[in-house]
Every structure is written in structure tokens, then in C-alpha cells.
Structure 1
Amino acid sequence: MLKLAIIGRPNVGKSTLFNRLAGRKLALVDDQPGVTRDRRDLDIQFGDFDVRLMDTAGLEDAADGSLQARMRQGTERAVAEADVAFFMVDARSGLTAQDRNLAEILRQSPTPVVLVANKTEGRGEEGAYEAYELGLGDPVAISAEHGEGMADLYQAMVEMVVQHGIDPDKDEEEEPEFKPLRVAIVGRPNAGKSTLINKLLQEDRLLTGPEAGITRDSIEVDWVWNDGERDWPVALWDTAGMRKKAKVAEKLEKLSVGDTLRAVRFCEVAVLMIDATTPFEKQDLQIADFISKEGRAAVVVVNKWDLIEDTDRAAKEMRLDAMRAFPQFGGVRIVFLSGLTGRHIDKLMPAITDAYRDWNAKVKTAEMNRWLEGVVAHHPPPAVAGRRIKMRYASQIKSRPPTFVIKCQRAEEVPETYRRYLVNSIRESFELEGTPVRVFLRAGDNPYAGKAKRKH
């Protein structure tokens, strides 16, 4: 697979080109510079080539240790890994000193570079000629926003592959035996989501730091975890922190939160990260409620456990608090760990795979009806207006999450308290922890419905 990195200074249209080549809007795009911070990878088909496309943060001159400097390091790693780099400049605004400095760095890099002059629609095409000054060959004039020049861009890439004798299949990997388990890491800003993923990967793949709200895009990272018996391919989604809705005012933050919500919708297991120093705030509860409404399996991670002194006492209290805070998951699995030091991090994936198995659970109809008989005998449904409600039949209609139907008389009159009792009993009887359980009550078919009354 050919590795292709898109690089350039901020706001030249790298993410727009990424979305254009991907065929859909994945990377966040906004007029303000510096939107992209973490590298985003995506496997695509570009012409006849299988390509791993890498969208990167804008390369900027920055002081060591700053956020921009850490962003730059991630981009430089992407360039080093790439077989070919697309170096983008803005033909509409013209070259800047920053463009020239980056071109000087790229000339010294062993990675072949295709010079791309973006925003050439209208009069912008004239600005493409200025890019010859960079000494990186003929610029390819494109408009990423309007899709112009894509054929020329593909041809330039092919020429670079042939010229440098690049073998796009040199690192070809075998197809995994199993589909990747999709896991989204969600939570409030600065809970340690990116730090945790970096520790799992054992590399500084994602941008981290003390500043809250560093992550903006929802970034997918491929990983393989071995449980001692088999390899689990895992797609880890690092997401932007979610603040209270009233505090989310900027357009870019709204886009980031929307990206996070989409990650939850498409994941299979959502890991809700909670800061051990400020646990179970209102926003944690709202995020958990969204996970439940979307029907995802859940695992709660209490991070920054290295900052807690009396861990035994704190763990006991937090387990009780979690039962009260997250009743929709009933006995949700909780992992206490430190993403920074790696303490107890080995307990995370077993909890995730256990929650995934419960989410996929299937209960036989015979077992369901034995359960229904026992649960009704132990605690019959309350009579309504002096009339008993008979529970007749139960079956599972789907999994992911486990969903059940119970046929009964006057289903609409069954009190909400009794419905919760049925849900909790199913969860306890069939050991379904950390997954939403849905129970629908349906009225039994009336054999006389629709038939006219006989006249005497």
C-alpha cells in the first residue's frame, strides 16, 4: 500500500484535499488556520493504487514544548513514514516565507515530493506559476474544494512512484481474520483520552499536553491486541472532549462535538473516560446517556488513578456512585487506571471485549420463557383497575444491543416501575453488564379483532 502524506503550512487546504480524495467529509474544515492537529489516516483507492492517505497538521515555526511544536513533530513523523508527500501551497494568497522554509526542509528529505498549488479556480491559476520558485519541480494546479485537477495530481503521483522505483506493495499485510472491534474513547476535555491511546500503542501517535481541548477531529487508529489466544484487530477512535452544551459556542467546537457523536454512533464499544480527581460530573452522565440511547456497549475508565492516595476506599465509593449514576448500564464494568504511567492499563481490553460479548449476547427463546415464568411467579405485574395483566410469551428479537419482546395483555397499562424490574431481571439473570437492554411489551394478537359481531 502506497503511503501518501499531505503537508503544508496551516490553512492551505490539506483537509479539503483529504476529504476530496476520501470521497466524503471526514476531516474537519474551517476558515481559521490550525484546525487539524492530529494526523488522520485513511485507506483509499486513488486510481489504480491502494493508498494510505495521511492528513497532517500545518507545519509552523514554533518554540520547543509549545502545542504547535508538538503538532509539527507529528507531521514530521508522517513525512518520514510516507512514500510520497503532497506539499500544498495556496496559489490564491501566494508564497510566504513559511512556504519557502518548508520547501528548503523538504528538499533535504529523502521522501519524494509532489508540489501542489491549491485554490487555482478563477484567477488563482496565475498564482501557481509563483510556486516554481520553490525548486520542487512543476506545480500541479488544483482546486481541492471544486475537485479540479485531480487527474493531473494522480498522474504526478504515478510519475513520482515510477521515477523513484517505489514498490507500493512492499509492506502489504495479510487481511485480518476478524473485522476490527470499533472502540470510541469519549469523555470531557482533558480526561486523558489521547494519552491513554498513546500508552496502548506504545508510541506518541496522538497529540497530548496539559491544554484542554487539544483533540478536534475524531481520529481512527488501527491496533492489534492479543488476549493470549487470538489477535483482536481494534479500531481505536480518539475523540474531542465534550463540554456542557451551553459552553459550546464556537463553530469549530460544535463541529468537533458533532464528530465525536458520529464516532459513538459508529462504534461498538464506547469507553467513557472519567477524571478520578473530578468524577461523575453532570457532563459524564449526559455522555453516558447518549451512549445508552445509541445502543452502544460501555466501559467506564477512571483515569489519573496515580493521583489518588487511598485507592481501595476511593474504588469502593466510585463503584457505588457508578451504580447510581449509570443505571442504564446496570453494573457497568469500571477500570481504574493511569494512562500516563500505564498502571492497570492491562485490565482495559479484557473489560472491553467482555462488554462486546454481552452486547452481542443471544438468549434462546426457551430460556427466555423459563425466565418469564419465574419472574412473574416471584413478582406478578400489578393489577390495573382491578384487572390482572397476564405475561404470555418472551423472545429476543435482536442483539447489539440485546432487545426483547414480551407479549402480554394491555401492554400500554404496564407501569414504568414494572418495566424497569423486567429489564433489571433480564440483565441479572443473563449476566448482561455494561450494555443497554431493551424490552418492548406488545399486546397479544386478538383472534376476534376485526370480526363483525353476530346479530341475533
Structure 2
Amino acid sequence: MNNPGLIAIVGRPNVGKSALFNRIARRRIAIVHDMPGVTRDRVSAEVEWQGRPFTLVDTGGIGLVPGEKSDDVIATSTVDQVNIAIDAADVILLVVDVHEGIVPLDQEVAQHLHRSGKPVQLIANKADNAPDAESVTDFASLGFEEMFPVSALHDRGIIPVMEAALKHLPKTTNRDLRTENPLKLAIVGRPNVGKSSLINALTQSDRVIVSDIPGTTRDAVDVPFTIETDGRQQPGLLIDTAGLRKKRRVKDSLEYFSVTRTRDAIDRCDIAVLVLDATTGILEQDKKIADLITRRNRACILVVNKWDLAEPKVKQTRREHRANTRKGKKGNRPLLTLAEFGQWVQGELFFLDYAPAIFTSATEGFHLDRFLEAIRYVDDQLQQRIPTPLLNRTLADAIDHRQPPSKSGKRLKFYYATQVAQSPPTILLFVNTPELFSAQYQKYLGDQLRKAFGYEGCPLVLKARPRRRENE
């Protein structure tokens, strides 16, 4: 997939950069997160606007690297963020505060941006009413032709900004939309969780046998499909697989062959869709399949099917809890919301905690649209490529907050990092002693990268390599 384009948000502190980032990005990120505030710590996000994918970067999430000193730390940090944006962006959104007017730091940032030659749109934020909007002309002296009054807080003026910004992004082609290489999804899970029913609901066809008898789908069946929303089409291939059984239940060679085909399907897929049964909860075999997905470094979406059968019991539990609360009875609080159930599922499958959990009912059609959006969202995360300066600055911040491990008086030292692959995202880190890169510190850096760049649904591979000496 070609570069979809990058939009960078820059500006001095407290002008509303994060609010603008959230306003644009949250609409997409909310697909896979039910909890508020998920964009708070994000540095970048894969976003879609009117069917057009791109990367959105909030440079305000980037701090000074260790060792940098300045009499005016804010000014130094702001200019440093601008330099990163200039290096990576196709178009830059310069955010200013319409109430405060032009301040010296705005002028300094504007001069840097003019010298870059990159397209710049001036965003006069906090224009919450008509008089505020008219004040955008006060910023004409900064020398930018495209100026927009915006209220990120109240969602005003965002559409004209985005329509103008999209014109500066690289042109997309059919090749970008995977017309030659469809997105491959392996639908996996133990028998009778509703894998085939899920495919039938999505494709609105009877291409796959559906039965209540476990194991009726003996072979892996590939079903073509197309996701179409907001004018964007994405061809894909749904791989329905025979339900994975415990080894002791594999009774004959045909059943063994089906299990082997399931593993092969995981190997050749882009995203593994692990289907779970809401009526039975997480069983040992579910965890075995999840472990197989993680060991293959495959992206994953958790689909908790048959929610229509579990929901009546949940509603009854909710009513009983409310009644007990009114009576003053105390006890452990049960799971009452989809968000709470989602957190519980991710806790049970803790090694797949990066995978979004979507609650569905294949027979009732509940949340199937959300599932389709999650597929496209995770695929965009897989295609994400982080600019090297942005990646290194984020890692520097993480290392500054928690120093690397040491052994026998020798401390792990990081020199620089670069993303070397997508699907799965793979980061190569050049260090002094790779043996010191412990699993615990890998987990810490991975968590910080996820906090900054998302990577929902994606495994994240970090590889340490010794830096080559100049005389080698």
C-alpha cells in the first residue's frame, strides 16, 4: 500500500492542538474503544475522512529529548516539534488561539514553516461564536493564504479544514485499496461458536454450510467480500475454518486435516478473527487458539458472538444489582456494560490485550457494522508507517521516563530506531548490547509505542541489533 499521506498539527502550548486532534481522530478510534479519553496520549492515529485514509500527527505529544537545554524550554520544544512535522508531513495545520491573537512564538513557528515550503493551513481555534470567527483576519500578517476559524471543542469549522487538507495529500490509486491483494481474514474459533453464521451474515449469502452440529464445516472455505463505507471500497477474503478442537478430540485423519488447515489459514491471513461464545465465556481452548495467533504474530479482532443469548441474563443481573443497591446490600459488583465485558475478555486473553473486542449477534445482525469498521481500522493500523524522527523522539521520551536495565555495571543504551516492516509492524532498535534488552523492557517500550501510535489489533515486534562500528 502506498503512503496514504500525513497531516501534522503544530502550534505553541494551550492553543487546542489536542482538542483538534481528538475531534478529527476520535470518530475513527471510537470504533474499537468504548472508553472515553483514548486519544489523550496519542501522538498519531490512522484516520479516515470521507473514505480517504491518512495519518494524523499531534506534535504536541512530543517533548524534549534528554540532554536538551534551553532558557525557554517551551520555545525550544515547540520549534523542535515543528521540525519533525516539516520532515514528515504532506500538509501542516498551524493552530493559534483566536482570543490571544498573534504572540512572538506564533511568529517564530510561522517563519520556520514558510522556509519549509510545505503547505500550511492556519487554524484559528476557539472561535466559538461569530465575532470570534471574524477575528481570523487578525492572523493574516503571518502570511498564510488558507485560514480557517474553528472551534474544536464545539465541532465547528472542521469540515472546511479537512476538505482543504485532503487536497494536499498524495493521490490514491486502486492499488492502494488492495484490489490486487485482498485483505485476508481467518475466521477461527472452537466448534459451534458461530463462525459460519458470522460469514453468512456479513456476505448475505449461503456460501458456507451453517449447522448447530459442531464441526460441520470440514474444510477451509474462502469467501470474497467487499467493505464499502463513505465511498471507499476494500476487497477482502473471509477464510472460514473448521473449528479447532482439543488434540484428544481429534478422532480421525479428516478431523486432523481440518485442524491443520485452520493453522494454515492463520499463517496466510492478514487479520485473525477469533470468534468467542458469549454464552460459555472464555474456555481453555479459546486461550490455546489465541496463543497460536500471537505466536504467528498475526493481527487480531476478538468477536464475542451470540450476545443476543447472553444479553437477557445480563439485563437481569443489572436489575438485581440496582435492587440490591437500593436496599443497601453490599457485594462484588457484577459486569454490567459492554465496556466492562470487553475489559474482562481482554483480561482473560491478556496476551491479546491489544485486540479490540466486538460484541455481536450473527443471527440478529447486532454490531456487524461495527465489526466491519474494526476490520478496516485494524488493517489501516497494520499499514501504518511511523516517520523515523517521530519514532525516535517518542522512544527517547519513554526511555527518559524509565531508564533501561543494566547488568554487571553495564547499562543498555539505545542509539536510534527505525520501522523496517509492516504487517506486523516491526521496529529495529540499534543498541550497544542486545542481550540487555529484557522482555520486561520490551513490554514497557511496546506499551509506550501503543500509547503514542495506537496499533490496535496489531502485534508489535521490537528487534534489538548492535550498532555497527565505523571501522567495520
Q: TM-score range by the shorter chain?
A: 0.5 to 0.7
Contact 1:405-1:440 at 8 Å conserved across structures: yes
TM-score (norm 1): 0.57
Cα deviation, 1:23-43, whole Å, max 9, x if unaligned, reads xxxxxxxxxxxxxxxxxxxxx
Partner Cα separation in structure 2 for residue 293 and residue 193 of structure 1: 22
Other-structure match for 1:277: 279
Other-structure match for 1:439: 462
In the alignment, which of 208, 221, 240 is matched to residue 206 of structure 1?
208
Contact 2:278-2:306 at 8 Å conserved across structures: yes
TM superposition shift of 1:329: 3.8
Other-structure match for 2:269: 267
In the alignment, which of 365, 374, 381 is matched to residue 358 of structure 1?
381
TM superposition shift of 1:255: 0.2
In structure 1, give the amino acid aligned to 2:305. N
TM superposition shift of 1:322: 3.0
Other-structure match for 1:53: none
Q: Secondary structure in 2 aligned to 1:279?
A: coil
TM superposition shift of 1:421: 0.8
Other-structure match for 1:339: 362
Matches within 5 A, 1:109-188: 177=179, 179-188=181-190
Partner Cα separation in structure 2 for residue 430 and residue 176 of structure 1: 23
TM superposition shift of 1:202: 1.6
Partner Cα separation in structure 2 for residue 392 and residue 180 of structure 1: 38
Structure with higher Rg: it is: 1
Unpaired segments of 5 or more residues in structure 1? 1-174, 450-456
In the alignment, which of 290, 293, 301 is matched to residue 291 of structure 1?
293
- Structure 1's 187 and 410: CA in aligned 2 closer, same or farther, altered over 3 A? same
In structure 2, give the amino acid aligned to 1:201. T
Output the aligned Cα RMSD: 2.0
TM superposition shift of 1:178: 5.4
Partner Cα separation in structure 2 for residue 314 and residue 211 of structure 1: 31
In structure 1, give the amino acid aligned to 2:234. W
- Structure 1's 447 and 439: CA in aligned 2 closer, same or farther, altered over 3 A? same
Other-structure match for 2:19: none
TM superposition shift of 1:220: 0.6
Alignment pair present for 1:395 and 2:418: yes
| Paired positions, count | 275
Contact 2:411-2:436 at 8 Å conserved across structures: no
In structure 1, give the amino acid aligned to 2:432. Q
Other-structure match for 1:423: 446
In structure 1, give the amino acid aligned to 2:400. A
- Structure 1's 402 and 410: CA in aligned 2 closer, same or farther, altered over 3 A? same
Other-structure match for 1:7: none
TM superposition shift of 1:177: 4.4
Other-structure match for 1:404: 427
In structure 2, give the amino acid aligned to 1:350. E
TM superposition shift of 1:324: 2.5
In structure 2, give the amino acid aligned to 1:362. R
Partner Cα separation in structure 2 for residue 327 and residue 208 of structure 1: 31
In structure 2, give the amino acid aligned to 1:287. I
Contact 2:218-2:242 at 8 Å conserved across structures: yes
In the alignment, which of 287, 294, 303 is matched to residue 301 of structure 1?
303
Partner Cα separation in structure 2 for residue 246 and residue 448 of structure 1: 58
- Structure 1's 314 and 246: CA in aligned 2 closer, same or farther, altered over 3 A? farther
In structure 1, give the amino acid aligned to 2:410. R
Other-structure match for 2:255: 253
Q: Secondary structure in 2 aligned to 1:204?
A: coil
Contact 2:405-2:436 at 8 Å conserved across structures: no
Partner Cα separation in structure 2 for residue 388 and residue 224 of structure 1: 51
In structure 2, give the amino acid aligned to 1:413. L
Q: Secondary structure in 2 aligned to 1:211?
A: coil
Other-structure match for 2:228: 226
Contact 1:329-1:433 at 8 Å conserved across structures: no
Contact 1:330-1:424 at 8 Å conserved across structures: no
TM superposition shift of 1:176: 8.6
TM superposition shift of 1:217: 0.3
Alignment pair present for 1:380 and 2:403: yes
Other-structure match for 1:9: none
Contact 2:354-2:459 at 8 Å conserved across structures: no
Cα deviation, 1:334-377, whole Å, max 9, x if unaligned, reads 11010111112111110011111111211111111101211111
Contact 2:187-2:239 at 8 Å conserved across structures: yes
TM superposition shift of 1:326: 3.5
Alignment pair present for 1:323 and 2:325: no
Partner Cα separation in structure 2 for residue 339 and residue 440 of structure 1: 40
Unpaired segments of 5 or more residues in structure 2? 1-176, 316-334
Partner Cα separation in structure 2 for residue 340 and residue 285 of structure 1: 25
TM superposition shift of 1:435: 0.8
Which structure's relative contact order is higher, taking Cα pairs within 8 Å and 6+ residues apart? 2
Partner Cα separation in structure 1 for residue 226 and residue 421 of structure 2: 29
In structure 2, give the amino acid aligned to 1:238. D
Cα deviation, 1:99-135, whole Å, max 9, x if unaligned, reads xxxxxxxxxxxxxxxxxxxxxxxxxxxxxxxxxxxxx
Q: Secondary structure in 1 aligned to 2:406?
A: coil
Partner Cα separation in structure 1 for residue 180 and residue 234 of structure 2: 7
Partner Cα separation in structure 2 for residue 226 and residue 412 of structure 1: 47
